Amino acid sequence: ALISKGPPYRKLADSLSACRVLVVGAGGIGCELLKNLVLTGFKNIEVIDLDTIDVSNLNRQFLFQKKHVGKSKAQVAKESVLQFCPTANITAYHDSIMNPEYNVEFFRNFMLVMNALDNRAARNHVNRMCLAADIPLIESGTAGYLGQVTVIKKGLTECYECQPKPTQKTFPGCTIRNTPSEPIHCIVWAKYLFNQLFGEEDADQEVSPDTADPELTWNPADTEARATASDQDGDIKRVSTKDWARSTGYDTVKLFNKLFKDDIQYLLTMDKLWKKRKAPLPLDWLEIQKLVHSSQREVTGTGLKDQQVLGVAGYSQLFSRSVETLRSMLADKGDGAELVWDKDDPPAMDFVTAAANLRMHIFSMNMKSRFDIKSMAGNIIPAIATTNAVIAGLIVLEALKILSGDVEQCRTIFLNKQPNPRKKLLVPCALDPPSANCYVCASKPEVTVKLNVHKTLVLALQDKILKEKFGMVAPDVQIEDGKGTILISSEEGETEANNSKFLSDFGIRHGSRLQVDDFLQDYTLLVNVIHCEDLEKDVEFEVVGDAPDKAPTPPSAQEDKNVANGNKDSAEPSTSSKAPAEQDDVLIVDSDEEEPSSSTMDVRMESGGHKRKLHDAETGEASAKRQRLDQPLAADEEDDDIIALD
């Protein structure tokens, strides 16, 4: 088709046959993309994915069949795509793109990289590798009926990390343990309970009543004496939840009464908590069992079994069955074994569904179906195969522009849930120029971090700040103290002795500067340290000027004129982001994976004249408003192409 349209297209067709492209991810979008690439004429494709095929993938990842379950997604995708085009040269890697062997030189082998990922860490990494290699990157993501595609080119457009991303929403421990007010609180509690009973215990995931709740003013000794706990072995005891459960042989009755009766009665003694809240209502196993025979068929809702809501009696029976099944699974693994919670594991999902619903009932909330709880517990937005197909097609169209030498014509394209007043589902927007505040693609990346040098360990600097917050893989840290002191080395064991020491032990103080290098990412970051002794409770550090939960300010009129004329030298080092505007976040996720989300790109939406951001596909992250490119509108029509979710 390209050849028939004349010399320019014949040249493009030849380019497709010759160029090497990399596809990162072979899931929902990746399958559609690989098929599109070979049918468009791409001949040299490399695909990488660490995941294996699960039964739940088969309803939308059409390169896979039931016989492929358990096999490498990348390898099976390659084999299936070759049936469309046997002459294509496809290389598959069953591996993580973050493996050190996929270095900058590896990325330089390609003319173009296309992401079909599901997690922020990998997206950040590929973004940096493409910047270091100066290779164009096409980002994408879907969530239900929503989707988006954008192009990232060093010096010309924003990189993936130019705009601050919202952190994953968390909840105070006292809310989860004492005063849940939303179903998600009970679901988080149930997932914590699974780990406390059957998985890896985590002190931050305690499920028993929290006597350190800041709302309380009572005397713990007095109230504990007044607690009317059961006089059976299920009494509240200050021992490990798992140890206590093992001592009872995972007795269902004792577990039930401890979790849903004794602990709730204990909470009721915390009088101050219930002055302005409806008090919880304890459940008793024996009382519930009296209702079992009369209520066993009590369900609400219609449709599939997973979409029905059982009564309290039904969930008590489900709790009992799931505990017994999980106990047997744990016993089969042997002493010291642990189970890992997986939304696709029926016994684990049954346990969380039952425990969460029983707790919802206790705290006077409407109970949820297994389907709803699975969606919330797994951070899933149901995937739509058609959305993946549309987005994969848009990726190829942007790729054709890049290979034609028309990068300036590339766009960020949003797929909306319903047509806008102009009857459009697809909304193209101009690409934004690089952010001067970006700590990744600025000419000299620099950040300022506020922390307590007397309480921050070197290990925390490495893992929580450099790796988790700033997305590095193997950082090396040198103190700018005139001596070139090496604080952290990526060479295994070289600076391991430093991990348990505080930053102040190395002379790091207010105003110190650290040079951080990640040689795998070809990335250097200058970190300015601000010593602070009055950080908020449970806050270990703050990035000065960082506003991950807010949207950036829309670009000025001057910035909007032509965002395709970015200058790679124009970015200046900065430690802060633009003043943020109010946002109403909408999560976008490619739901074939469970993580969580959540990160790709963003969309602005409109409701009642207010902009709303449509988030990064996969992890819910947002970026600045794009300039719309269809045709000029009057001021009062300016936002018509952005549609709000219901």
Task: Establish whether 57 is an annotated binding residue.
Answer: yes
CA distance 129 to 96: 14
CA distance 407 to 410: 5
Task: Establish whether 162 is an annotated binding residue.
Answer: yes
Task: Establish whether 630 is an annotated binding residue.
Answer: no
Task: Establish whether 30 is an annotated binding residue.
Answer: yes
Q: Per the structure block, which two tokens stand in for 343?
A: 């939304």
Count of C-beta atoms within a 10 Å radius of residue 400: 17
CA distance 43 to 474: 34
Task: Establish whether 564 is an annotated binding residue.
Answer: no
User: How far is the CA of 266 from the CAs of 4, 280, 281, 328, 575, in angstroms?
Assistant: 78, 11, 11, 30, 48
Task: Establish whether 120 is an annotated binding residue.
Answer: yes
CA distance 644 to 573: 35
Q: Tell me the Cα Rg of the chain.
A: 27
Task: Establish whether 19 is an annotated binding residue.
Answer: no
Task: Establish whether 97 is an annotated binding residue.
Answer: yes
CA dihedral 68, 70, 73, 78 (to 10 degrees): -40
CA distance 362 to 365: 8
Task: Establish whether 436 is an annotated binding residue.
Answer: no
Task: Establish whether 28 is an annotated binding residue.
Answer: yes
Catalytic residues: 174
CA distance 578 to 556: 12
Task: Establish whether 254 is an annotated binding residue.
Answer: no
Task: Establish whether 73 is an annotated binding residue.
Answer: yes
Task: Establish whether 29 is an annotated binding residue.
Answer: yes
CA distance 363 to 277: 10
Count of C-beta atoms within a 10 Å radius of residue 442: 20
Count of C-beta atoms within a 10 Å radius of residue 179: 19
CA distance 586 to 589: 10
Task: Establish whether 598 is an annotated binding residue.
Answer: no
Judge contact between 450 and 539, C-beta under 8 A: no
Task: Establish whether 635 is an annotated binding residue.
Answer: no
Task: Establish whether 122 is an annotated binding residue.
Answer: yes
- Residue entry with tokens 């790796």: 467
Judge contact between 21 and 110, C-beta under 8 A: yes
Task: Establish whether 89 is an annotated binding residue.
Answer: no
Task: Establish whether 186 is an annotated binding residue.
Answer: no
Task: Establish whether 173 is an annotated binding residue.
Answer: no
State the helix-helix crossing angle for 385-403 and 28-40, rounded to 10 degrees.
50
Neighbouring residues of 510: CB distance < 8 A, sequence distance ≥ 6: 453, 529, 530, 531
CA distance 335 to 580: 52
The half-sphere exposure of 181 on its side-chain side, counting CA atoms within 13 A, is: 11
SS3 for 268?
helix
Task: Establish whether 77 is an annotated binding residue.
Answer: no
Judge contact between 142 and 29, C-beta under 8 A: yes
User: How far is the CA of 642 from the CAs of 147, 359, 422, 633, in angstroms?
Assistant: 13, 39, 10, 13
Task: Establish whether 311 is an annotated binding residue.
Answer: no
Task: Establish whether 45 is an annotated binding residue.
Answer: no
Neighbouring residues of 360: CB distance < 8 A, sequence distance ≥ 6: 180, 183, 186, 366, 367, 368
Q: What are phi and psi of 185, to 5 degrees?
A: -60, -40
Q: What are phi and psi of 268, to 5 degrees?
A: -65, -25
In total, the chain counts a number of residues equal to 646
Q: What are phi and psi of 611, to 5 degrees?
A: -70, 145
Known binding-site residues for Zn(2+) equal 159, 162, 438, 441
Known binding-site residues equal 25-30, 49, 57-60, 73, 96-97, 118-123, 159, 162, 438, 441
Known binding-site residues for ATP equal 25-30, 49, 57-60, 73, 96-97, 118-123
